[in-house]
């Protein structure tokens, strides 16, 4: 009798239902309001992608023109160029930027001295805290007409290279600096997963005569594989979403043939000069839709071939 009473009482403390848990909802209310206003209202605003938007008439009053903005973009001479530029800068960055943090984490994890591990990690993470403005400023200083790199080139008998005026140099500079800045930081998530590996596994493998390298392959790598899958899904989902912040700063008049990407183009036609908000919003919406589709495909395939998926 007392047993059942006690059980009932315990249960009641984790009862479900709104009445008992309104305080949890209250703790969430701020986050819900901010998300509703700053994420969902702009989603309603994408209606202008289907309008010939006129600021005087607003979203409610501007005439609808169906998919005209979209077809105009597909038919414009910019279309293939923007798609290719966006894809290449992100895909080439991914080829280097995806495996590098995994390798760094696996190798760092083999160091036995935690002190040494900590020092390396502090160093590797430092560039993450530099702002894009400073990063691009540093690039200008290193790779400018009179920068250190050009001094080196001259010393070896070459001629000054205008790294920022030649479109061929945009991608190497963008990707190289991106990896310099983020490799260490991206490895943290793998290091956290590696910290959870049971040391007894390593001990047992050691007794069986497995070398350190073998143990990486057969113990450490499988342990971080779920994390790798999640990061891979997210990366595929963002293959066509390259932010404008850094690219805008690196653009010069003459490297646009490789440095103009979807997001910078949207910014320019939507907010600067003679603006066409409806057209810009349509391109932005098209870009978001592709990202969602890519993410769903990636998640679906991951689910099919392994147990790891985002949802």
In the bound complex, what is the minimum distance in angstroms from residue 88's beta carbon to another protein? 22
Q: Which residues contact 21 (CB under 8 A, 6 or more apart)?
A: 15
59 contacts: CB under 8 Å, gap ≥ 6:
44, 45, 47, 48, 51, 53
- Is the Cβ of residue 85 or residue 229 nearer to another protein in the bound state? 229
Determine if 42 is a binding residue for another protein (CB under 8 A): yes
Instruction: Give the chain's largest Cα–Cα span.
Output: 94
Shortest Cβ distance from residue 57 to another protein (Å)?
Answer: 13
Judged by CB under 8 A, how many residues of this single chain contact another protein?
115
* Residue 67 binding another protein, by CB under 8 A: no
If one asks whether residue 300 binds another protein (CB under 8 A), the answer comes out as no
Q: Which of 65, 68, 270, 303 binds another protein (CB under 8 A)?
A: 270
Position 83 contacts another protein (CB under 8 A): no
For another protein, the binding residues in 183-202 under the rule CB under 8 A are 184, 188-189, 192, 195
Rounded least distance, CB 98 to another protein, Å: 16
Say whether residue 122 binds another protein (CB under 8 A).
yes
- CA separation for the pair 268, 258 (Å, rounded): 16
Decide: is 40 part of the binding site for another protein (CB under 8 A). yes
The structure tokens listed for 61 are 């009053």
CA distance 136 to 142: 10
Interface residue with another protein among 79, 87, 94, 267 (CB under 8 A) is: 267
Q: Which residues contact 154 (CB under 8 A, 6 or more apart)?
A: 160
230 binds another protein (CB under 8 A): yes
Alpha carbon separation from 202 to 113, 194, 207, 220 (Å, rounded) = 16, 12, 9, 9
Instruction: Assess 274 for contact with another protein (CB under 8 A).
Output: no
Give, as ranges, the residues between 156 and 175 that touch another protein (CB under 8 A). 162, 164-165
Q: What share of the chain is helix, strand, coil (3-state, %, to 5)?
A: 75, 0, 25
Taking residue 161's Cβ as centre, other Cβ atoms within 10 Å add up to 16
Q: Does 126 bind another protein (CB under 8 A)?
A: yes
28 makes contact with another protein (CB under 8 A) = yes
Q: How far apart are CA 280 and CA 230, in angstroms?
A: 32
| Of 18-26, 77-85, 88-96, 166-174: span binding another protein (CB under 8 A) | 18-26
Verify binding: residue 25, another protein, rule CB under 8 A: yes
Q: Is there binding between residue 180 and another protein (CB under 8 A)?
A: yes
Per-residue tokens: 260 = 């103009």
Using alpha carbons, list the distances in angstroms from residue 241 to 5, 157, 169, 234. Answer: 57, 40, 21, 11
183/123 Cα distance (integer angstroms)? 11
Binding of residue 151 to another protein (CB under 8 A): yes
Minimum Å gap between C-beta 118 and another protein is 8
Measured N-to-C along each axis, helices 114-125 and 170-195 cross at an angle, to the nearest 10 degrees, of: 150
Among the listed ranges 64-72, 88-96, 136-144, 167-175, the one in contact with another protein (CB under 8 A) is 136-144
């Amino acid at each position: 009798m007392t047993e059942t009473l006690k059980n009932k009482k315990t249960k009641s403390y984790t009862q479900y239902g709104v009445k008992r848990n309104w305080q949890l909802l209250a703790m969430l209310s701020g986050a819900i309001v901010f998300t509703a206003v700053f994420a969902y209202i702009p989603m309603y605003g994408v209606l202008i992608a289907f309008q010939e938007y006129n600021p005087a008439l607003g979203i409610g009053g501007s005439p609808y023109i169906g998919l005209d903005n979209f077809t105009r973009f597909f038919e414009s001479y910019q279309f293939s160029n923007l798609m290719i530029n966006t894809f290449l800068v992100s895909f080439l960055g991914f080829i280097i930027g995806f495996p590098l943090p995994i390798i760094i984490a696996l190798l760092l994890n083999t160091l036995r001295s935690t002190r040494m591990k900590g020092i390396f990690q502090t160093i590797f993470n430092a560039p993450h805290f530099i702002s894009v403005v400073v990063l691009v400023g540093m690039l200008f200083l290193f790779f400018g007409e009179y920068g250190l790199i050009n001094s080196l080139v001259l010393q070896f008998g070459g001629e000054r290279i205008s790294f920022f005026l030649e479109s061929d140099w945009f991608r190497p500079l963008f990707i190289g600096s991106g990896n310099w800045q983020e490799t260490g930081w991206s490895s943290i998530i793998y290091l956290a997963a590696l910290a959870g590996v049971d040391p007894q596994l390593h001990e047992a493998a050691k007794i069986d005569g497995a070398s350190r390298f073998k143990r990486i392959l057969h113990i450490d790598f499988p342990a971080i594989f779920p994390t790798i899958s999640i990061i891979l899904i997210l990366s595929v989902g963002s293959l066509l979403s390259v932010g404008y912040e850094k690219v805008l700063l690196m653009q010069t008049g003459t490297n646009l043939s490789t440095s103009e990407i979807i997001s910078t183009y949207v910014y320019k036609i939507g907010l600067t000069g003679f603006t066409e908000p409806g057209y810009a919003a349509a391109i932005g919406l098209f870009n978001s839709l592709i990202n969602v589709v890519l993410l769903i495909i990636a998640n679906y395939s991951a689910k099919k071939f392994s147990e790891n998926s985002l949802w």
